[in-house]
Every structure is written in structure tokens, then in C-alpha cells.
Amino acid sequence: MSGTMNLLIGLAMGLSLLALASSRLPSVIRAAAFQGMILGTLPLLLEEKFHWLVVAVAIGTITVKGFIIPNLLRRALRAANIDREVEPLIGFVPSLLLGAAAIIAAAALGSALPLLPEHAKTLLVPGSFATVVCGFILLMARTKAISQVCGYLILENGIYLFGLLLINSTPLLVEAGILLDLTVAVFVIGIIVDRIQREFDTLDTRKLTSLRE
């Protein structure tokens, strides 16, 4: 059981690195979506016995993260009529290296933390740290609003992964609430992206500095 789970989490970490290394915005969105779908299946693996609530959570997560949010983002992309991150603040190779360093550091941190024995065997904790840090790197390194939304999604995936540690004690309502928040946030960002595009004729968030006061 934990072998399959570790495989999936490793895949998710690889997708984070893919998002960091890719300059084309559609592939960044795709990486974030796949990561969301992979992580959505994890609850099914974690629970020993079948429970319809867990299935509902998994299906909901996969639907929202794998289809609804990516579609919203693709629509914003079409409206803004761009598909490349041209001038990142941190280049693609350096961000990839940073991401790799983050994974190593997360593994080191995970082995240093005093975890429960059933969690110590899995990659849950290192994977969640690595995904959060990769999300942060994406947020900091990119200038286009869409890439930052993807960074935000990956960041949220990391938090979700960490939340799986507590899946037995987290009510369904909280999970549903988080998903709803995420959807609304992406929805709002999609609108904002459209507005930024119309107002400044670019999606470069550096142009927003005149709004600071």
C-alpha cells in the first residue's frame, strides 16, 4: 500500500519540477492539474476500508483540480492571448535546481522530524514540504499572473498533502470548504487576469507596482 502511495507522491514531486522547468504556460497548467489529480486519489489508498465519504472527497478533488480549475485557467489564457513566460525573475534552470534542492532539504527535514511510525515510512511529509517550497519558488520566480496562479495551486497541493496526515480527524466539510475556496480564488484570479490584461495590455505583475500605496 505505502509503495503505491510513495510512487504517486514521487510522481507529484516530479510534476512540481516539470512546472518549474517549463516555459510554456499550458504545460505548467497541465502539470499542476495532473498533480492535483494524483493527490486526489491518495485518500483512497490511505483508508483501509471502503467508505463512500472518502470516495466523494476523492472524486470532488479530482474533478475540481483536474478539470474545473485548469479549464478556467485555459480560458483566461485564451482571453489574454499569451502562452509563454518570457522573462522569469529566476531562470528556468536555476528554478529547477532550487526545486531539486528543496526536495533534498525536505527529505532531510522529514527524516529529522519526530513522526508517527506509520507516517515515517511514507513520503507524505517530505513530499508535502517539497511541493509547498516548489509552489513558493514558482510564485516568486515568475512574472506572469497565470504562472503565479499555478504556483498557488501547487502550494495548495502541498498543503493538501500535509492535510492527509490528519485525514481521519478532518471532517468532510473542511475538505469541501477548502476546495470551494480554491475554486473561487482561481475564478477571481481569472477575472483579475482579464482586467490586468485590458488595463495594462500585459500580464506582467511587475507593472502593478504603481498600485502599492
Partner 1 sequence: MTTGWLLLMAGMGLAAGILSAFKSPRVWLVVTLCGAVAAFSAAVCMLASGVVWDWQPGFVIGGEALHLQLDGISAFFLVLLSVLGGAGTLYSSEYWSDKAHPDSAPSGRAWWNALLLNMGFVLLCANGLHFLIAWEIFTVCAYFLITRERQRPEARAAGWLYLAASHVAMIFLFAFFALLAARTGSWELGPMRERTELAPLFWLALVGFGIKAGIFPLHIWLPSAHANAPSHVSAIMSGMAIKMGIYGIVRFTGWLPTPDSAGWVVATLGVISAVLGVAFALGQHDLKRLLAYHSVENIGIILIGLGFAMIAASHGNAAWGQLALAGALLHVWNHGLFKALLFLGAGSVLHATGTREMSRLGGLWRAMPWTASLFALGATAIAGLPPLNGFVSEWLVYLGLFDAVSAHGHAAFAAILAAVALGITGALALACFVKVCGVVFLGLPRSRVAEHVHECGWRMRLPMLVLGAACVAIGLAPILFWPAIAAAATAWQPALANANALPTVPLVTLGAFHLALVALVILAAVFLWRRVQHNGVSRAGTWDCGYAAPTPRMQYTAGSFSGIITGWFDWILRPQRHAHLPRAMFPAHADFEEHTSETVLEKVVEPAGSFVMRISAAARRLQHGRVQSYILYLVLGLVALAILAVMGGSK
> Following DSSP, what letter does each residue of 125-176 receive, concatenated?
HHHHHHHHHHHHHHHHH--BHHHHHHHHHHHHHHHHHHHGGGTTTS-HHHHH
Q: Give yes or no for residue 202 binding partner 1 (CB under 8 A).
A: no
CA distance 110 to 133: 14
Q: Quick check: 139 binds partner 1 (CB under 8 A)?
A: yes
Selected from 16, 61, 148, 157, the binder of partner 1 by CB under 8 A is 148
d(CA 15, CA 64): 18
Single out the residue of 27, 41, 63, 143 in contact with partner 1 (rule: CB under 8 A): 143
Contacts of 136 (CB under 8 A, 6+ apart): 151, 155
Q: Pick the binder of partner 1 from 12, 35, 99, 142 (CB under 8 A).
A: 142
Of positions 55, 59, 89, 93, contacts partner 1 by CB under 8 A: 89
How many residues lie near partner 1 (CB under 8 A)?
A: 15
Region binding partner 1 by CB under 8 A among candidate stretches 41-49, 52-60, 69-77, 136-144: 136-144
Residues that bind partner 1 (CB under 8 A): 89, 136, 139-143, 148, 205-206, 208-212
